[in-house]
Amino acid sequence: MEICTKDHFGSLAHEFENLELSQLYCIKKDQPGLEKVSIKGKFEVDEVSFLRIAFSACNNATSGGTCGTPEEIDQLLPREEV
Does residue 82 form part of some domain? no
Helix/strand/coil for 4: coil
End-to-end CA, the chain = 22
CA pair distance 43, 25, nearest whole angstrom: 19
For residue 39, give the nearest of 9, 66, 7 by alpha carbon: 9
Tally of domains within the chain: 1
> pLDDT 10s digit of each residue in the chain, 82 long?
788 899 988 888 898 888 888 888 888 878 777 777 777 767 677 666 666 666 677 787 877 777 888 888 777 765 555 4
Does residue 54 form part of some domain? yes
Under 8 Å between Cβ of 75 and 53 = no
CA pair distance 25, 21, nearest whole angstrom: 8
Domain extent for 71: 2-76
pTM greater than the 0.75 cutoff: no
Does residue 53 form part of some domain? yes
